[in-house]
């Protein structure tokens, strides 16, 4: 049930006119996904499979409440969105024959900027 007085649809996103307690506004985000799969069926008497998956967030702006400012969660996070990474990737290779097979998978997680609220829990190497 929508408790908002009215909703409008714009070209880029749907926005609602509500009090801050009624609804959080959606994030304005732009991300890119890439995938690559390759299979070589006659590799040393078996099949060699290679894969790669990449996710890249170019933009993640969020406005938590109607009257709050827009926050760039990638470059200056405020703590509302946790664990957001600009880059993530999965990759791997596998070979399978008639009687056995093996594989290797890897993951890449890009760096992230910690919101100020998380700084005290990270500790320090200084006195």
SS3 107: strand
Q: What is the pLDDT of residues 45-86, one digit of tens each?
A: 999 999 999 999 998 888 878 888 888 888 888 877 777 889
How many CB atoms sit inside 10 A of residue 77's CB?
21
Q: In sequence order, which residues have a C-beta less than 8 Å from that of residue 87 and are 6 or more positions away?
A: 54, 55, 56, 57, 108, 109, 110
Q: What is the pLDDT of residues 30-45, one digit of tens each?
A: 899 999 999 999 999 9
**Would you place residue 125 in the very low, low, confident or very high pLDDT band (cuts 50, 70, 90)?**
low
Q: What is the pLDDT of residues 5-38, one digit of tens each?
A: 343 344 434 433 443 433 445 678 889 999 999 9
- As a dihedral over the C-alpha atoms of residue 120, residue 121, residue 126, residue 127, rounded to 10 degrees, the angle is 70
């Amino acid at each position: 049930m929508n408790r908002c007085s009215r909703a409008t649809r714009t070209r880029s996103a749907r926005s609602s006119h509500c009090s801050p307690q009624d609804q959080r506004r959606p994030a304005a985000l732009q991300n890119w996904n890439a995938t690559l799969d390759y299979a070589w069926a006659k590799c040393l008497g078996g099949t060699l499979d290679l894969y790669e998956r990449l996710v890249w967030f170019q933009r993640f702006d969020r406005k938590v409440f109607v009257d709050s400012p827009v926050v760039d969660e990638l470059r200056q996070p405020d703590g509302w969105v946790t664990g957001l990474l600009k880059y993530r990737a999965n990759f791997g290779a596998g070979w399978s024959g008639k009687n056995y097979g093996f594989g290797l998978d890897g993951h890449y997680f890009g760096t992230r900027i910690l919101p100020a609220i998380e700084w005290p829990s990270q500790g320090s190497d200084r006195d």
